[in-house]
A and B are shown apart, each in its own frame.
Chain A
């Protein structure tokens, strides 16, 4: 494993290879980087750490020659990567956050993408196949058909192909931008071995990641970015979770917050008596156990479960986006019952659904921030069918203020915002309709820590206002201290419900895996 990097890298270990000096980069009015500087050496593993929107990925793109700095300079061995083509020639290989493959093409073509000259292949076909097969077998850990269509491979394998593409050249600098996101657990270990191998052969490895525990395992140095600027570089033993978080947030607490429980004050017993949303005898599949469920006004209820155990379907059933196999759902507002059997009826009953996959369901990526906000608000505010833009505008500004959405211009494309701010726009859009029940499907996915905490505070305040909040999450820690109850799903039905003090990470986790002997479970249904 230590021979993955090709010979031919002639860099003196320890010599400064990557030099970033006072780089600024703006997209429209959103500033991604502001006077950011750092350097990385040959034979070291250097991490770039920061919240979402702190400019890490922008930095990766600058190194790849995809973007160019507005001011300042990015140099590698004294040269500027002015285009991806040049960067490649300079020995810079970047593995991007997205898994960039040429769809419908073979594995082999994808591995040597951009490797050949305009009229001449750099390597003969036979040599290519041999090298590719050797490397890929070692990386993936099993035989991969080089003539297979990449579309037919698993995400994990495709991620390896993208990594292998970077290694097949003769890289002097390798940048991994969140490259472990799509790797499974055993692959991550092999990935670390790859990184160590590169390091040993004198390659400068830059790792951009959110997964802080990965850093401590492998990094020599870590540069922390905050809001587009470098706020310091940690060396070796200094790299700890607490220290990194502290620098990212620009705060001084030694115990950096991760869980809502650390952020939120203990709750008063303000849960109302009246039920806001009731489900009776709901079956998600014909042979699943029926579910009876109710949420009261002012309550925050967590929905948990292993992937594919019905919690996502359930939240969609509650909000009218999916029809159950059996059972009824109705919302209760002002003593009246409103049956919910479609998204439209849910909307009328003032039940709001905030989808999980922002890109696929929540946003129109080509439209502006304002349009994305206004899209569902035009109709209810319209007068005689004509759009009342002013009214929508006022609603928008109100939500921007309430949710402290950071944006440049309201007509900038939604893509120019960070993930957290995009999510806020989606939430703000729903809040503008003054819902009584708010159902959020994994709202914190891909959102940085700061925005997460903002979100917890927001959910809590919504509950205090008397709204019923349904909160589905894949991160167990998030339930702790935030939710009044957590409903755990298993096998397309409710396995059990944890309340108040019983809402602990261990308790939820155990229930997810079907252990009911844990303290606090109010008698699982199965």
Chain B
């Protein structure tokens, strides 16, 4: 996995060692060779200095500045939509260009959009309708659909987990036609997108720190990744590794890919346990995958060691029943909440509130044992794979949201 990261930083971080190493390779023919050789070189990973020339992070209130720790792959300059005026007044037509529809997270987000947000804002006279397209992970199709949404007269378009660069042409097209483009879960390199994202690297780091602390600063940790090529997965991974690094006596026993599917994660962890009989002190898992890791431990007859329970209800229910299991964890990306924050940012921008920065980051929400009584519905079992949804105001208080805008106001009360 090291190769992946090195390469990634080489691609995206100017002036890093990785970039220079890549430059030295030069030449078409060495592309393949270069790719594999880079993986062998032990280039120290260089995180970007967020305070680059164009970054407006230092001008943000200190309360939200901390959310930009470890952010490397998204533009941090002033938002191009700072003085945005929509093509027409409310009610607006919204496009949702989904890249695929097939996992629990996406369905959660979509439910929030269709069943909570749309009726509420329709009633307020702010939104006319939402048009949804779906590309089944075919980028060319998603590009076509984004252009089509623009042509159909949408005033704003939301995407989730968009490709890092491939949609840039379509995003520019939207911007050129006066359409606001909001990219949820970030990772887009285009300055013409307004990005709203959790800081997954930071979340991973905080999760790993809490895990390391619970383990007493020593032992072996197994890491369960998401989808190894996905931006968010790499961010989480980066965070997990950084957090664990703070404990010199903690060793990473191995890394497996859970693909954000519990059954895959379970199989991968079982396989790992079968070949590594030595005791594991903890598991740093990305959700969905923490439940899979936990049931793998159960099935293998291993002790249920601390796991970074970051989203699914099952492990949190186990914690509810076993208060000593872990001390603290962080929720990275509740689907409903993320959809809502993207929606609000979009509405505020359409209302001309003026986002200050191209990428709006949200810090991870801590979960303590005391929160569980309110977070978990009564009767939640340890096998539940539903997403825990922190109350929105504790997740992303309006006060914090306001800090990202030049002319903040409550979107529901705002003008069309």
The answer to whether A and B touch in the complex, with CB atoms under 8 Å apart, is no
Binding site for B on A (CB under 8 A): none
Binding site for A on B (CB under 8 A): none
